[in-house]
Amino acid sequence: MKIVSLSGIIGYGYTEEGLKNALKQKIDIIGSDGGSSDPGPYYLGSGKSFTERNAVKRDLELALPEAIKRNIPFIVGTAGGAGGEPHLKWAREIYEEVAREQRLNFKMALIHCEIDKDYLKNKLREGKIKSFGNNPPLTEKDIEESIRIVGQIGVDPFINALKNGAQVILAGRACDTAIFASSAIKAGYEPGLAYHMAKIIECGAMCTIPLSASDVMVAEINKDNFILEPPNSLRKCTVERVAAHTLYEQVNPYYIYEPDGIVDLRKSEFKQLTDRSVKVSGSKFIAGDKKTIKIEGVKLAGYRTISICGVRDMLMIKDIKKILEDVKVKVEENLGNRVSSNDYSIIFRKYGIDAVEGEIEVLKDLPHEVGIVVDVVGKTQEIANVVCSITRANLLHFDYSGRKATAGNIAFPYSPSDIPVGPVYNFNIYHLVEVEDLSETSKIEFVEVGT
Amino acid sequence: MDNLIDLASILRSKNAGPLNVTFDIIFSDKETFNRVKNSKIINKKLISELYKVDEEDIFILEFGVVNAIKITIPRKLTSGDIRDTDIYGCQQHGPLLTIKIP
Which amino acid, one-letter code, is at A43? Y
Parallel, antiparallel, or unpaired for β A370-378 and A291-311?
antiparallel
User: B81 to chain A: which residues are within 8 Å by CB?
Assistant: 301, 426
Taking an 8 Å cut-off on Cβ atoms, the answer to whether A362 and B94 are in contact is: yes
Question: Is-contact B73 B48, C-beta < 8 A?
Answer: no
Query: What does A106-152 look like in DSSP terms, one character per residue?
Result: EEEEEEE-B--HHHHHHHHHTT-EEE-TTPPPP-HHHHHH-SEEEEE
Alpha helix locations (H) across A149-308? 155-163, 176-186, 191-201, 239-247
The DSSP secondary-structure symbol of A369 reads: -
Top residue of A271, A357, A377 to mutate, by most chain B CBs within 10 Å, is A357
Alpha-carbon gap, residue A246 to B101, rounded angstroms: 26
A269 to chain B, minimum CA–CA distance in Å?
Answer: 8
pLDDT digits (tens, 9 = 90+) for B12-32: 999 999 999 999 999 999 999
User: A249 to chain B: which residues are within 8 Å by CB?
Assistant: 14-16, 22
Q: What percent of chain A has pLDDT over 70?
A: 100
Q: Cis omega before residue A210 (within 30°)?
A: yes
Residue (of A242, A212, A180, A248) closest to A2 by Cα position:
A180
A213 by Cβ neighbours in 10 Å (0-12 / 13-18 / 19+) ranks as: middle
Top residue of A426, A431, A432 to mutate, by most chain B CBs within 10 Å, is A426
Other CB atoms within 10 A of residue A363 CB: 12
Alpha-carbon gap, residue A412 to A309, rounded angstroms: 5
- The per-residue pLDDT of chain A, averaged, comes to 96
Taking an 8 Å cut-off on Cβ atoms, the answer to whether A430 and B17 are in contact is: yes
Q: Where are the beta strands (DSSP E) in A36-126?
A: 74-81, 106-112
pLDDT at residue A372, rounded to an integer: 98
Which amino acid, one-letter code, is at A304? R
Alpha-carbon gap, residue B1 to A225, rounded angstroms: 43
Alpha-carbon gap, residue B90 to A62, rounded angstroms: 32
pLDDT at residue A132, rounded to an integer: 85
* For residue A271, pLDDT beyond 90: yes
* For residue A97, pLDDT beyond 80: yes
The DSSP secondary-structure symbol of B64 reads: G
Nearest-Cα residue of chain B relative to residue A362: B95
| Beta-carbon-side half-sphere exposure of residue A338 (alpha carbons within 13 Å) | 12
Count of CB pairs separated by less than 8 Å, A with B: 122
Question: Is-contact A195 A267, C-beta < 8 A?
Answer: no
The DSSP secondary-structure symbol of B9 reads: S
pLDDT at residue B3, rounded to an integer: 96
Residues 6+ away with beta carbon under 8 Å from A422: A46, A303, A304, A381
- What is the predicted ipTM? 0.93
Nearest-Cα residue of chain B relative to residue A355: B85
| Beta-carbon-side half-sphere exposure of residue A420 (alpha carbons within 13 Å) | 13
pLDDT class of A224 with cuts at 50, 70, 90: very high
A104 by Cβ neighbours in 10 Å (0-12 / 13-18 / 19+) ranks as: buried
Alpha-carbon gap, residue A381 to A393, rounded angstroms: 18
Global pTM value: 0.93
Other CB atoms within 10 A of residue B43 CB: 13
* Least confident span in A156-170, A201-215, A244-258: A244-258
Mean pLDDT, rounded, for A189-194: 98
pLDDT class of A245 with cuts at 50, 70, 90: confident
pLDDT digits (tens, 9 = 90+) for A175-187: 999 999 999 999 9
Question: Is-contact A388 A376, C-beta < 8 A?
Answer: yes
Taking an 8 Å cut-off on Cβ atoms, the answer to whether A424 and B78 are in contact is: no
Mean pLDDT, rounded, for A148-159: 98
A424 vs B68, B82, B85: nearest CB: B82
A91 to chain B, minimum CA–CA distance in Å?
Answer: 24
Question: Is-contact A104 A74, C-beta < 8 A?
Answer: no
Query: What does A279-304 look like in DSSP terms, one character per residue?
Result: EEE--EEEE-SSEEEEEEEEEEEEEE
User: A375 to chain B: which residues are within 8 Å by CB?
Assistant: 82
pLDDT class of A147 with cuts at 50, 70, 90: very high
Question: Is-contact A51 A12, C-beta < 8 A?
Answer: yes
pLDDT digits (tens, 9 = 90+) for B50-62: 999 999 999 999 9
* For residue A451, pLDDT beyond 80: no
